[in-house]
Amino acid sequence: MMQCNDITFISIVAPVYNEEAVIGQFIERISQTMSLLKSYDYELILVDDGSNDFSLKVMKKYVSQDTHVRIIELMRNYGQTSALLSGIESAKGEVIITMDSDLQHFPEEIPLFLEKIAEGYDLVCGWRKDRKEGIIRRWPSRIANYFIRNISGTDIHDFGTTFRAYRKGLLAKIELFGEMHRFIPALASRLGGKIIEIPIQNIERPSGKSSYGLSRTYGVILDLLFLYFYLNYVTKPLRIFGMLAFFLFVPSCMIAFILTALILEKVGVSVEVFPLSSYRRLSFYTMRTDALDRFGTRIEKRFTKREIVQMMEDARLKNISFCSSVFWCAVGYKKASLGEYHKEGI
Protein backbone atom coordinates (compact mmCIF):
# COMPACT_ATOMS: atom_id res chain seq x y z
CA MET A 1 0.00 0.00 0.00
CA MET A 2 1.24 3.48 -0.89
CA GLN A 3 2.23 5.99 1.74
CA CYS A 4 0.58 9.41 1.93
CA ASN A 5 2.87 12.23 0.92
CA ASP A 6 1.11 15.58 1.39
CA ILE A 7 -0.72 16.73 -1.73
CA THR A 8 0.84 14.08 -3.98
CA PHE A 9 -1.49 11.42 -2.60
CA ILE A 10 -5.10 11.57 -3.80
CA SER A 11 -8.13 9.71 -2.48
CA ILE A 12 -11.00 9.20 -4.94
CA VAL A 13 -14.29 8.28 -3.26
CA ALA A 14 -17.21 6.92 -5.30
CA PRO A 15 -20.48 5.50 -3.91
CA VAL A 16 -21.75 2.46 -5.80
CA TYR A 17 -25.34 1.30 -5.96
CA ASN A 18 -26.38 -1.29 -8.56
CA GLU A 19 -23.77 -0.30 -11.13
CA GLU A 20 -22.63 -3.73 -12.31
CA ALA A 21 -22.99 -2.68 -15.97
CA VAL A 22 -20.56 0.24 -15.73
CA ILE A 23 -18.44 -0.16 -12.59
CA GLY A 24 -15.70 -2.07 -14.42
CA GLN A 25 -15.39 0.64 -17.05
CA PHE A 26 -15.38 3.29 -14.34
CA ILE A 27 -12.43 1.66 -12.51
CA GLU A 28 -10.50 1.26 -15.75
CA ARG A 29 -10.98 4.90 -16.76
CA ILE A 30 -9.86 6.07 -13.31
CA SER A 31 -6.73 3.91 -13.65
CA GLN A 32 -5.95 5.26 -17.12
CA THR A 33 -6.42 8.88 -16.05
CA MET A 34 -4.29 8.62 -12.92
CA SER A 35 -1.53 6.75 -14.73
CA LEU A 36 -0.96 9.93 -16.77
CA LEU A 37 -0.44 12.00 -13.61
CA LYS A 38 3.12 10.98 -12.77
CA SER A 39 3.42 13.34 -9.81
CA TYR A 40 0.41 11.87 -7.99
CA ASP A 41 -0.28 8.59 -6.28
CA TYR A 42 -3.84 7.64 -5.48
CA GLU A 43 -6.35 5.28 -3.95
CA LEU A 44 -9.83 4.55 -5.31
CA ILE A 45 -12.36 3.92 -2.54
CA LEU A 46 -15.54 2.27 -3.80
CA VAL A 47 -18.36 2.34 -1.26
CA ASP A 48 -20.96 -0.32 -1.97
CA ASP A 49 -24.19 1.19 -0.67
CA GLY A 50 -26.15 -2.05 -0.30
CA SER A 51 -26.22 -3.02 -3.99
CA ASN A 52 -28.52 -5.94 -4.77
CA ASP A 53 -26.93 -6.81 -8.11
CA PHE A 54 -23.42 -8.08 -8.92
CA SER A 55 -21.64 -4.74 -8.43
CA LEU A 56 -19.75 -5.98 -5.38
CA LYS A 57 -18.57 -9.11 -7.16
CA VAL A 58 -17.21 -7.08 -10.08
CA MET A 59 -15.42 -4.67 -7.71
CA LYS A 60 -13.78 -7.50 -5.81
CA LYS A 61 -12.36 -8.83 -9.07
CA TYR A 62 -10.61 -5.49 -9.65
CA VAL A 63 -9.33 -5.34 -6.08
CA SER A 64 -7.35 -8.52 -6.69
CA GLN A 65 -5.84 -6.98 -9.84
CA ASP A 66 -5.19 -3.37 -8.78
CA THR A 67 -3.71 -2.42 -5.41
CA HIS A 68 -5.07 1.13 -5.76
CA VAL A 69 -8.66 -0.08 -5.40
CA ARG A 70 -10.31 -0.42 -2.00
CA ILE A 71 -13.87 -1.46 -1.16
CA ILE A 72 -16.10 -0.42 1.73
CA GLU A 73 -19.18 -2.61 1.98
CA LEU A 74 -22.24 -1.21 3.75
CA MET A 75 -24.78 -3.66 5.14
CA ARG A 76 -27.73 -1.92 3.47
CA ASN A 77 -28.62 1.10 1.36
CA TYR A 78 -27.96 4.14 3.59
CA GLY A 79 -28.02 6.82 0.90
CA GLN A 80 -25.44 8.88 -0.93
CA THR A 81 -24.39 11.12 1.96
CA SER A 82 -23.70 8.20 4.30
CA ALA A 83 -21.79 6.37 1.57
CA LEU A 84 -19.67 9.44 0.87
CA LEU A 85 -19.02 9.94 4.57
CA SER A 86 -17.84 6.34 4.94
CA GLY A 87 -15.37 6.81 2.10
CA ILE A 88 -14.18 10.22 3.30
CA GLU A 89 -13.52 8.95 6.83
CA SER A 90 -11.49 6.09 5.40
CA ALA A 91 -9.52 8.26 2.95
CA LYS A 92 -5.78 8.65 3.49
CA GLY A 93 -5.09 11.42 0.98
CA GLU A 94 -4.73 15.10 1.80
CA VAL A 95 -6.89 15.80 -1.25
CA ILE A 96 -10.19 13.93 -1.60
CA ILE A 97 -12.12 13.75 -4.87
CA THR A 98 -15.74 12.60 -4.73
CA MET A 99 -17.67 11.55 -7.84
CA ASP A 100 -20.42 9.24 -9.05
CA SER A 101 -19.59 5.79 -10.37
CA ASP A 102 -22.35 5.73 -13.02
CA LEU A 103 -20.08 7.39 -15.66
CA GLN A 104 -22.11 10.60 -15.74
CA HIS A 105 -18.92 12.12 -14.33
CA PHE A 106 -15.87 11.86 -16.55
CA PRO A 107 -12.75 10.52 -14.77
CA GLU A 108 -10.69 12.25 -17.47
CA GLU A 109 -11.59 15.62 -15.87
CA ILE A 110 -9.89 14.84 -12.54
CA PRO A 111 -6.69 16.73 -13.57
CA LEU A 112 -8.75 19.94 -13.91
CA PHE A 113 -9.75 19.68 -10.25
CA LEU A 114 -6.21 18.97 -9.13
CA GLU A 115 -4.93 22.04 -10.99
CA LYS A 116 -7.26 24.31 -9.00
CA ILE A 117 -6.33 22.61 -5.73
CA ALA A 118 -2.68 23.24 -6.58
CA GLU A 119 -3.53 26.92 -7.07
CA GLY A 120 -4.56 27.12 -3.42
CA TYR A 121 -8.31 26.48 -3.42
CA ASP A 122 -9.84 24.44 -0.59
CA LEU A 123 -12.86 23.24 -2.54
CA VAL A 124 -13.30 22.83 -6.29
CA CYS A 125 -16.91 22.23 -7.39
CA GLY A 126 -18.03 20.77 -10.68
CA TRP A 127 -20.67 22.67 -12.64
CA ARG A 128 -22.91 20.74 -15.03
CA LYS A 129 -23.23 23.78 -17.24
CA ASP A 130 -24.80 21.97 -20.18
CA ARG A 131 -26.91 19.24 -18.64
CA LYS A 132 -28.15 16.50 -20.93
CA GLU A 133 -30.72 15.03 -18.57
CA GLY A 134 -34.47 15.39 -18.97
CA ILE A 135 -36.49 18.38 -17.83
CA ILE A 136 -37.77 16.45 -14.78
CA ARG A 137 -34.19 16.37 -13.49
CA ARG A 138 -33.02 19.77 -14.71
CA TRP A 139 -35.74 22.17 -13.55
CA PRO A 140 -36.19 20.96 -9.95
CA SER A 141 -32.40 21.01 -9.65
CA ARG A 142 -32.22 24.55 -11.04
CA ILE A 143 -34.87 25.78 -8.58
CA ALA A 144 -33.14 24.07 -5.63
CA ASN A 145 -29.79 25.58 -6.67
CA TYR A 146 -31.38 29.04 -6.80
CA PHE A 147 -32.70 28.78 -3.24
CA ILE A 148 -29.53 27.26 -1.82
CA ARG A 149 -27.45 29.98 -3.48
CA ASN A 150 -29.61 32.75 -2.01
CA ILE A 151 -29.94 31.21 1.44
CA SER A 152 -26.24 30.48 1.81
CA GLY A 153 -24.82 33.43 -0.10
CA THR A 154 -22.46 31.02 -1.88
CA ASP A 155 -22.05 32.08 -5.50
CA ILE A 156 -21.89 28.77 -7.34
CA HIS A 157 -24.33 27.33 -9.85
CA ASP A 158 -24.46 23.61 -9.09
CA PHE A 159 -24.90 22.32 -5.53
CA GLY A 160 -26.27 18.96 -6.62
CA THR A 161 -23.25 17.34 -8.23
CA THR A 162 -20.89 15.23 -6.12
CA PHE A 163 -17.95 15.74 -8.52
CA ARG A 164 -15.74 17.85 -6.27
CA ALA A 165 -12.21 18.06 -4.91
CA TYR A 166 -11.57 18.95 -1.26
CA ARG A 167 -8.67 19.52 1.02
CA LYS A 168 -9.06 16.97 3.78
CA GLY A 169 -8.58 19.60 6.49
CA LEU A 170 -11.71 21.40 5.29
CA LEU A 171 -13.85 18.26 5.22
CA ALA A 172 -12.73 17.38 8.75
CA LYS A 173 -14.53 20.51 10.00
CA ILE A 174 -17.84 19.67 8.28
CA GLU A 175 -20.33 17.26 9.83
CA LEU A 176 -22.29 15.29 7.23
CA PHE A 177 -25.67 13.62 7.82
CA GLY A 178 -29.02 13.20 6.09
CA GLU A 179 -28.69 14.58 2.55
CA MET A 180 -26.16 17.23 3.52
CA HIS A 181 -23.65 16.41 0.77
CA ARG A 182 -25.33 18.93 -1.53
CA PHE A 183 -24.78 21.67 1.06
CA ILE A 184 -21.06 21.09 1.53
CA PRO A 185 -20.11 24.23 -0.51
CA ALA A 186 -22.42 26.36 1.65
CA LEU A 187 -21.00 24.90 4.86
CA ALA A 188 -17.45 25.29 3.56
CA SER A 189 -18.12 28.92 2.68
CA ARG A 190 -19.39 29.51 6.22
CA LEU A 191 -16.07 28.16 7.52
CA GLY A 192 -14.15 30.56 5.30
CA GLY A 193 -13.01 28.00 2.72
CA LYS A 194 -11.68 29.22 -0.63
CA ILE A 195 -14.10 27.88 -3.26
CA ILE A 196 -14.09 27.82 -7.06
CA GLU A 197 -16.35 26.24 -9.67
CA ILE A 198 -15.33 24.68 -12.98
CA PRO A 199 -17.56 23.48 -15.85
CA ILE A 200 -17.74 19.70 -16.34
CA GLN A 201 -19.30 17.45 -18.91
CA ASN A 202 -22.61 15.79 -18.20
CA ILE A 203 -24.44 13.03 -20.03
CA GLU A 204 -27.42 10.78 -19.49
CA ARG A 205 -26.76 7.65 -17.47
CA PRO A 206 -25.22 5.04 -19.79
CA SER A 207 -26.99 2.31 -17.82
CA GLY A 208 -29.48 1.86 -15.02
CA LYS A 209 -32.13 4.20 -13.65
CA SER A 210 -31.67 7.33 -11.57
CA SER A 211 -33.16 7.38 -8.07
CA TYR A 212 -33.68 11.15 -8.30
CA GLY A 213 -36.95 12.74 -9.35
CA LEU A 214 -39.90 14.84 -8.26
CA SER A 215 -40.51 12.48 -5.32
CA ARG A 216 -37.46 13.99 -3.60
CA THR A 217 -38.89 17.54 -3.68
CA TYR A 218 -40.40 17.31 -0.19
CA GLY A 219 -37.10 16.24 1.31
CA VAL A 220 -35.24 19.02 -0.47
CA ILE A 221 -37.67 21.63 0.92
CA LEU A 222 -37.07 20.37 4.46
CA ASP A 223 -33.32 20.42 3.84
CA LEU A 224 -33.57 24.04 2.69
CA LEU A 225 -35.36 24.99 5.91
CA PHE A 226 -32.68 23.21 7.90
CA LEU A 227 -29.93 24.96 5.93
CA TYR A 228 -31.46 28.39 6.61
CA PHE A 229 -31.71 27.68 10.33
CA TYR A 230 -28.26 26.11 10.50
CA LEU A 231 -26.47 28.95 8.71
CA ASN A 232 -28.27 31.80 10.44
CA TYR A 233 -29.36 30.65 13.90
CA VAL A 234 -27.34 27.61 14.98
CA THR A 235 -25.41 29.78 17.47
CA LYS A 236 -28.42 31.93 18.44
CA PRO A 237 -31.56 29.76 18.31
CA LEU A 238 -33.52 31.98 20.71
CA ARG A 239 -33.69 34.73 18.10
CA ILE A 240 -35.67 32.73 15.56
CA PHE A 241 -38.03 31.33 18.21
CA GLY A 242 -38.43 34.80 19.71
CA MET A 243 -39.20 36.23 16.28
CA LEU A 244 -41.80 33.52 15.63
CA ALA A 245 -43.36 34.16 19.05
CA PHE A 246 -43.54 37.89 18.33
CA PHE A 247 -45.32 37.43 14.99
CA LEU A 248 -47.72 34.88 16.47
CA PHE A 249 -48.56 36.96 19.56
CA VAL A 250 -50.77 39.57 17.83
CA PRO A 251 -52.92 37.13 15.80
CA SER A 252 -53.24 34.85 18.82
CA CYS A 253 -54.56 37.78 20.90
CA MET A 254 -57.06 38.62 18.16
CA ILE A 255 -58.21 35.02 17.96
CA ALA A 256 -58.57 34.89 21.76
CA PHE A 257 -60.65 38.09 21.75
CA ILE A 258 -62.92 36.83 18.96
CA LEU A 259 -63.44 33.49 20.70
CA THR A 260 -64.21 35.27 23.96
CA ALA A 261 -66.75 37.49 22.22
CA LEU A 262 -68.40 34.47 20.60
CA ILE A 263 -68.62 32.67 23.94
CA LEU A 264 -70.10 35.73 25.65
CA GLU A 265 -72.60 36.14 22.82
CA LYS A 266 -73.56 32.49 23.22
CA VAL A 267 -74.45 32.98 26.89
CA GLY A 268 -76.41 36.16 26.23
CA VAL A 269 -73.74 38.81 26.61
CA SER A 270 -73.32 41.33 23.80
CA VAL A 271 -70.08 43.24 23.34
CA GLU A 272 -70.20 46.86 22.17
CA VAL A 273 -67.42 49.23 21.31
CA PHE A 274 -67.92 53.01 21.14
CA PRO A 275 -65.65 56.09 21.46
CA LEU A 276 -65.52 58.45 24.41
CA SER A 277 -64.56 61.68 22.72
CA SER A 278 -65.30 63.78 25.79
CA TYR A 279 -62.71 61.83 27.76
CA ARG A 280 -60.26 61.97 24.80
CA ARG A 281 -59.97 58.24 24.64
CA LEU A 282 -59.93 56.28 21.42
CA SER A 283 -62.40 53.61 22.55
CA PHE A 284 -63.39 51.36 25.37
CA TYR A 285 -65.37 48.19 25.76
CA THR A 286 -68.58 47.93 27.75
CA MET A 287 -70.83 44.97 28.31
CA ARG A 288 -74.55 45.42 28.45
CA THR A 289 -76.69 42.47 29.59
CA ASP A 290 -80.19 41.82 30.81
CA ALA A 291 -78.73 41.60 34.29
CA LEU A 292 -77.38 45.14 33.98
CA ASP A 293 -80.77 46.37 32.77
CA ARG A 294 -82.37 44.89 35.86
CA PHE A 295 -79.56 46.40 37.92
CA GLY A 296 -80.33 49.79 36.35
CA THR A 297 -84.00 49.47 37.27
CA ARG A 298 -83.07 48.81 40.88
CA ILE A 299 -80.76 51.84 40.88
CA GLU A 300 -83.57 54.08 39.55
CA LYS A 301 -85.86 52.81 42.29
CA ARG A 302 -83.31 53.32 45.03
CA PHE A 303 -81.82 56.65 43.94
CA THR A 304 -83.32 59.77 42.52
CA LYS A 305 -82.30 60.88 39.06
CA ARG A 306 -80.36 63.78 40.55
CA GLU A 307 -78.33 61.36 42.72
CA ILE A 308 -77.60 59.13 39.75
CA VAL A 309 -76.37 62.11 37.73
CA GLN A 310 -74.21 63.21 40.63
CA MET A 311 -72.62 59.78 40.98
CA MET A 312 -71.87 59.68 37.24
CA GLU A 313 -70.41 63.17 37.39
CA ASP A 314 -68.21 62.16 40.34
CA ALA A 315 -66.99 59.15 38.36
CA ARG A 316 -66.17 61.39 35.39
CA LEU A 317 -64.27 63.91 37.53
CA LYS A 318 -62.27 61.11 39.13
CA ASN A 319 -61.56 59.68 35.65
CA ILE A 320 -63.10 56.36 36.62
CA SER A 321 -64.21 55.54 33.12
CA PHE A 322 -65.12 51.97 33.93
CA CYS A 323 -67.40 52.92 36.84
CA SER A 324 -68.95 55.66 34.71
CA SER A 325 -69.66 53.23 31.91
CA VAL A 326 -71.26 50.75 34.34
CA PHE A 327 -73.64 53.42 35.62
CA TRP A 328 -74.28 54.48 32.05
CA CYS A 329 -75.37 50.98 31.16
CA ALA A 330 -77.17 50.35 34.43
CA VAL A 331 -79.67 53.11 33.99
CA GLY A 332 -80.16 52.35 30.32
CA TYR A 333 -78.16 55.03 28.50
CA LYS A 334 -80.41 54.79 25.42
CA LYS A 335 -83.48 55.76 27.43
CA ALA A 336 -82.06 57.86 30.22
CA SER A 337 -78.81 59.47 29.08
CA LEU A 338 -77.19 62.33 30.92
CA GLY A 339 -78.54 64.76 28.35
CA GLU A 340 -82.12 63.63 28.90
CA TYR A 341 -81.85 64.17 32.61
CA HIS A 342 -80.68 67.70 31.99
CA LYS A 343 -83.64 68.25 29.67
CA GLU A 344 -85.92 67.31 32.52
CA GLY A 345 -84.36 70.11 34.55
CA ILE A 346 -82.51 67.92 37.02
The answer, yes or no, to whether residue 196 has pLDDT greater than 90, is yes
DSSP 122: S
Structurally, how many domains does the chain consist of?
A: 2
Same domain, yes or no, for 298 and 224? no
Range of the domain at 51: 6-235
Same domain, yes or no, for 211 and 83? yes
Same domain, yes or no, for 64 and 153? yes
CATH of the domain at 20: 3.90.550.10
d(CA 343, CA 346): 7
CA atoms within 13 A on the CB side of 340: 10
d(CA 42, CA 93): 8
Of the given ranges (3-17, 138-152, 181-195, 332-346), which has the lowest mean pLDDT? 332-346
- Contact of 168 with 95, CB cutoff 8 Å: yes
Same domain, yes or no, for 228 and 304? no
DSSP 314: H
The answer, yes or no, to whether residue 185 has pLDDT greater than 60, is yes
Q: How buried is residue 170: exposed, middle or buried, by Cβ count under 10 Å (0-12/13-18/19+)?
A: buried
The pLDDT assigned to 217 comes to 64
- Per-residue pLDDT band for 298 (boundaries 50, 70, 90) equals low
**12: number of Cβ within 10 Å:** 25
Same domain, yes or no, for 190 and 285? no
Same domain, yes or no, for 192 and 275? no
- φ, ψ of residue 179 to 5 degrees: the values are -115, 40
Q: Is residue 247 part of a domain?
A: no
Report the range out of 95-99, 134-138, 176-180, 339-343 with the highest average pLDDT.
95-99
DSSP 2: P
The pLDDT assigned to 145 comes to 81
Q: Is residue 261 part of a domain?
A: no
Instruction: Specify the higher pLDDT residue, 277 or 230.
Output: 230
- Per cent of the chain over pLDDT 70 is 68
Q: How buried is residue 27: exposed, middle or buried, by Cβ count under 10 Å (0-12/13-18/19+)?
A: buried
CA 102 to each of CA 190, 206, 271: distance values in angstroms, whole numbers, following the listed order:
31, 7, 71
Q: What is the mean pLDDT of residues 291-299?
A: 56
Q: Is residue 202 part of a domain?
A: yes
Of the given ranges (18-27, 30-39, 48-57, 315-324), which has the lowest mean pLDDT? 315-324
- Contact of 323 with 316, CB cutoff 8 Å: no
Pick from 328, 336, 316: nearest CA to 292: 328
Same domain, yes or no, for 160 and 81? yes
Of the given ranges (7-11, 27-31, 235-239, 283-287), which has the lowest mean pLDDT? 283-287
Same domain, yes or no, for 275 and 127? no
Of the given ranges (64-78, 172-186, 216-230), which has the lowest mean pLDDT? 216-230
Instruction: Specify the higher pLDDT residue, 177 or 169.
Output: 169
Q: Is residue 250 part of a domain?
A: no
What one-letter code names the amino acid at 199? P
Pick from 312, 152, 287: nearest CA to 232: 152
Last residue of a domain, one of 177, 210, 235: 235
The pLDDT assigned to 226 comes to 77
Q: Where are the alpha helices (DSSP H) in the chain?
A: 23-35, 55-63, 80-90, 110-118, 135-152, 168-171, 184-190, 217-233, 237-266, 290-302, 305-317, 321-330, 338-343
Q: Is residue 242 part of a domain?
A: no
Q: Is residue 337 part of a domain?
A: yes
Same domain, yes or no, for 117 and 22? yes
- Per-residue pLDDT band for 299 (boundaries 50, 70, 90) equals low
Same domain, yes or no, for 166 and 292? no
Same domain, yes or no, for 225 and 274? no
DSSP 336: S
Last residue of a domain, one of 235, 260, 279: 235
Instruction: Specify the higher pLDDT residue, 8 or 344.
Output: 8
Q: Is residue 10 part of a domain?
A: yes
Query: What is the dihedral sign for C-alpha 239, 240, 241, 246?
Result: positive
Same domain, yes or no, for 143 and 99? yes
